[in-house]
Structure 1
Amino acid sequence: MLLDDVPVELPESLSDWDYQMDLPVRQQVRVDVDLVRQATGLPPSAKLTLAMVWTATGSGLKAAGSRVLLPEAGTVTVQLDALLSGNQLGGLLVLETALVLAEYCDSGALASPRRAGSVLWADQRSTRLQGDAALFPMAVVDFSRTQYPEDAGWHMEIGGDLETATMGALLLLVNERKKVVVEALRNAAKPRAVDRVVLSTVHADVARTLVDHALREPDFSLNADYGDESLGATLQALVARLFPEQSVSHLRRRQQQSPIAFATELQHAVRILEED
């Protein structure tokens, strides 16, 4: 992949990634076309293509990055490039490079592949996208054009059930009129001192909203299996991290009986305004 236009090996995880960060990826593959045809029994007329395909578990999306048609013979070095939009990613990003038969081939050896799309070779690599910024989509909008108070800084929208993919269930709307908030979120990977204060405040409020939503969901449980990268799994991870060794039933009682005290406990749990 490319970081600041510098090629680097795909890391195990990207700790400073967020949904506003697009990812440029590049794969170089050296292909001995003659050896491929010899090994597969395919004739020179068979069309061969090298393609890159990406999959993101957080969004459930899968798409082709780029593809290159190979020559009939010889050895070539193929470069595959793609710019992956951050708002389509999340969770585990899997990049697969595959050599495929581009068109139906009715000639060649008896055991040769025939069908278009037959995979002759494949390589797969992955990285986990796990930034310190919000791990869900964000949109900057003018609140005066929405149903929300025009002087509010942000609003967290939550939709779908606990099995819904996190990316499809959560959306943080940021008021474009609040420049300090917009700038802080844009600088989340490398925040200034003022950005850290704003990010801490947004983080605390988003955590409060998500925890409140989880505890008000009658079917929410720390023991349920909602599926990877789902809203339920995201809420489980958040509640377990903020309130370790505390049951959901206990937290629900605290929230219902002493909501103000519970809000203060949540401030403590998220370490609001704590300096690094």
Structure 2
Amino acid sequence: MTSAFALPFLSLPDEAVTLSRWMIAQTGQPFIPLKPMLEEWDYAADVELRGSILIDMQAAARMLSIPEDELKLAVVLKIGTGRGRFPRVVERVSSQLVETATDKALELYALVPGNTLSGRLHTRIEVLLAASAKNASILAPTRIGSRLWSHEFSVELEDGGDSRFPIEVVSFIETFPNQRHVCAPWYLSWRLGGLASDFNGSVRLYVNSDHAELAQRVVDGDVLTLQAILGDVMVQMVGATLDADDLAEQLDGCEEGSVGAQIAGWMELAFPGRELSELRNIRRSMLGSFHSSLHAAAELRDIE
């Protein structure tokens, strides 16, 4: 259950709700367990989600101090999309009533048109009070629509807005002969000052395949290796960008999918709510904290 504050009424603990593993598929393809990223997706492909939820109505009635014969709940499924940690657009796709105790799980399904998606697919399940009870406890929820339980998850869309970071595994001996970075483990290629440029078209990370063990870890998706590399990229790009005198104006003019928008997202992720002046002070006076905060923000998390 996700809650950022104490509710003024009783709510449902996770023990009263059983949520199945969510499955995802592109239309026409078999369903697979939901993972942090939906690979090989593009805007032409619709996305389907499938799962189920089972509410122990007897336990729910007891925990909410509402007589079981008066308890009515609604299960609401919402879908959102957009870059960053919070969705830009949210839509309610289904609402189902639960009135009586049953051993049968409630099936949840959503078909999301690919052309409506951008960067990340957010999903939220809510259990709401569907009817007021006459004989409930003074601590019981009474207002229809009161949120009693919720669960959120999201999946990154590989080729939408927040696409996978552009990485190429190449031999530096062959690709960058006689260059000073020929023995480096990786090399970030980008042009400082082009904040309005398309991120995928102007930023490229090269991993040195001459370091065979490192290259294999990248190919295998080793999370610590990728975090170290992405953290270094974030340190380079955020640090260099902070030196611009008119940075606030430049970032305000950056569109979704641009270099500036990506850098702004990284700064908010690593230093939520901080002004640009504060970030500059941290970088100047607490360089170790500045670097480690960006490396921490590069952490790759699995979705349970």
Q: Give TM-score scaled by structure 2 length.
A: 0.45
